[in-house]
Amino acid sequence: ETQLLIGLHLIHEVTSPQAFGMLRDLGLEVMMPERTFATVDHIIPTDDRKRPFQDNLAEGMVKALKDACQEFGITFFDVESGKQGIVHIIGPELGLTQPGITVACGDSHTSTHGAFGAIAMGIGTTQVRDVLATQCLALARLKVRRVEVNGKLGPGVYAKDIILHVIRKLGVFGGTGYAYEYAGTAIEALTMEERMTLCNMSIEGGARVGYVNPDETTFAYMKGRPYAPQGEAWDKALTYWRSIASDADAMYDDVVRFDAEEIAPTVTWGINPGQAISVKERVPTAEDAPNESERSLVQEALDYMKLPGGKPIEGTPIQVAFIGSCTNGRLSDFREVARLLKGKKVAPSVRALAVPGSMDVARAAEAEGLDQVFRDAGFEWREPGCSMCLAMNPDKLVGAELCASSSNRNFKGRQGSATGRTILMSPVMVAAAAVRGVIADARDVFAL
Amino acid sequence: MALAKIERVTGRAVHVPGEDIDTDRIIPARYLKCVTFDGLGEHLFKDVRFGQDGSKSDHPLNDPKYAGATILVAGRNFGCGSSREHAPQSIAKYGFKAMIAESFAEIFFGNSTALGLPCVSLKRAELDELAARVTRDPQTVVTVDLAAGVVRVGDERTLPFEMKPGAQEALQHGSWDPIGQLLEGKEQIRKVAASLPYIEPR
Ligand code: SF4
């Protein structure tokens, strides 16, 4: 194992209080408090955010984090700071996430930050302690798989569809031991926010790290961010950032290639993100599976999802629509949906939630009047947080409700009900499902 | 810090069937509303062990035959999903001392190792054989022998396992929690930090 210095450490209320407890037990200090930043996202309510929160346990967690930040001298982006939001949204938007640095956070979707050409990974709480105390992790080197996507995405096909497609093809375990470096013309054409969506879900394919080479798109996004270098430091940074991109003749442990034209709007049908099909396909049957263990996996998923195998997924009634999360809770997500949703209504049978990923995203969207478009269509427009992505706050599915969701996990019980069901898709596909009341092809609904 | 040297774990085993069992299933998110890891053991696999009315399912951990088992036998990609350390913490607090599976998700493997909880991988056919054996005969004594690199099943079977060499050594040598070593390098850490282009000298 090597000892890896961590350039940026992000913490939130769920996985860090215990780490501070460990520090206190061992009588240790935080070695570089200026390299750790905290926020609150997982448990925060998205409607009434007045303190103390109605939920005592949630209140206790936020208080524990705030106290720890004060005690150890760590910057805390709480609601009062105006910068609160999902940890993987605020890091980039504040310019904390930068090319060429290492990023760690007690959260598996830390892979998001790799979109900037950073090496970013999720860690456990004991490792959060290690980073706090020593700014380092003990880590074995990862192999690198180049995941190349070439060509042009069709209308109605987004970064979310690319990553769902990649995970479907490479499997939820396929990336274990690897970092995924995304490349190819389709990836180069993506905006920073789209690259974040892509890298975000690397972990759902088993890869702890997702990465895109930094380029002019990256630098344009960085420029002027609060924590981005300025003046002379900016010029120096640019030289450094340009120097770290992989060379054209770099060697990889593995290379896989996909054709962007072959990727359709993709939805999950099962209980892990690899159980995905294009919206025009039929749900698989257990009999289609190649062997006994796969058969039982398919059957388990069909039973849980209450979906009949062999039938089209289109037309499956939904009860809840959720747009948000660290995968798809950024300004461009809300802009694109608002553009298409204008003048349309959410079906009466559907409860629809739009939850911006950060206070910055929320305020920017509101300044453009996007919130009104969502409200007019019948969405609830909420305050920022993880919300129904994992439902540690009051936003939960009830019973066996089926949710069309722009989040990243469709595990059993993920959205707050032990029998609740999730179908993952792009935000535009969620909007299409919300409007029709059933899983629908956004290309048809919005004439794309 | 003196850590236990974990050379072998011996005990009875219980097989929890299924592939790709994620950490949300191991410990549902609502039990993450805590500021310590205490008491997590009782919520292990909560939503697959109990119905919403509190009724017990036929999950193996509800079966008294397997009570007291200290080795958890699972399938492929065990512990995928969320990085929550609450997952291996709940497994350890429930009383497990080692895990055997076809494979483990990476973050989960690291989290478990840092708690001194060995995760070893068997070839599928041998894993299936072990699972069938302990299910048929819950009294079977199983040993995860880190020094020898094998899982012993009863008196008669010895199955070679795979494990990241670094983790296997760290557990045996009592250096599975890296904090001591990391702290020793503080001078070096400051030097490296000072040499990095993105860290301003202070
Ligand atoms: S939005 Fe969901 S996946 Fe992202 S950090 Fe929050 S809970 Fe985790």
The pLDDT tens digits for A308-328 are: 999 999 999 999 999 999 999
Q: What is the reported pLDDT for A2?
A: 87
In this structure, the residue with its CA closest to atom 4 of ligand 1 is A326
| A116-137 exposure pattern, b = at least 16 Cβ within 10 A, e = fewer | bbbbbbbbbbbbbbbbbbbbbb
B201 has a pLDDT exceeding 60: no
Interface check for A174 against chain B (CB to CB < 8 A): the answer is no
B110: closest CA of chain A, how far (Å): 8
Residues 6 or more apart whose CB falls under 8 angstroms from that of A273 comprise A164, A167, A172, A201, A204, A205, A408, A409, A410, A424
3-state secondary structure of A120: strand
Ligand 1 lined by A277 (C-beta under 6 Å) = no
**Tens digit of pLDDT for each residue in B107-146?**
999 999 999 999 999 999 999 999 999 999 999 999 999 9
**Whole-number Å distance between alpha carbons of A222 and A97:** 9
Cβ contact, residue pair A7, B34, below 8 Å? no
Report how far ligand 1's centroid is from the alpha carbon of A300 (Å): 25
Amino acid (1-letter code) at residue A286: A
Ligand 1 lined by A360 (C-beta under 6 Å) = no
Ligand 1 lined by A10 (C-beta under 6 Å) = no
Cβ contact, residue pair A172, B80, below 8 Å? yes
| pLDDT confidence bin for B202, thresholds 50/70/90 | very low
**Whole-number Å distance between alpha carbons of A426 and A330:** 12
Q: Is the dihedral of CA A390, A395, A399, A404 positive or negative?
A: negative
Cβ contact, residue pair B33, A64, below 8 Å? no
Q: Residue B11 has which token pair?
A: 């005990």
Report how far ligand 1's centroid is from the alpha carbon of B171 (Å): 32
A130 has a pLDDT exceeding 80: yes
Q: Residue A280 has which token pair?
A: 């025009």
- Name the average pLDDT for chain A: 97
Among A101, A134, A419, the residue with its CB nearest the CB of B189 is A134
**Tens digit of pLDDT for each residue in B69-117?**
999 999 999 999 999 999 999 999 999 999 999 999 999 999 999 999 9
A366 has a pLDDT exceeding 70: yes
Interface of A with B in 295-334 (CB under 8 A): 297, 300
**Whole-number Å distance between alpha carbons of A109 and A282:** 30
Ligand 1 lined by A414 (C-beta under 6 Å) = no
A64 with A17: CB under 8 angstroms?
Answer: yes
3-state secondary structure of A173: coil
DSSP state of B56: B
Interface check for A210 against chain B (CB to CB < 8 A): the answer is no
**Whole-number Å distance between alpha carbons of A178 and A114:** 13
ipTM over 0.90: yes
**Tens digit of pLDDT for each residue in A93-104?**
999 999 999 999
Q: What residues of B are in contact with residue A303 (Cβ under 8 Å)?
A: none
Residues facing residue A422 across a β-bridge? A403
Of all helices (H) and strands (E), which one includes residue B150?
A: strand B150-153
Cβ contact, residue pair B189, A135, below 8 Å? yes
Residues facing residue A217 across a β-bridge? none
Amino acid (1-letter code) at residue B147: A
Ligand 1 lined by A107 (C-beta under 6 Å) = yes
Q: What is the reported pLDDT for B197?
A: 85
Section A161-168 average pLDDT: 98
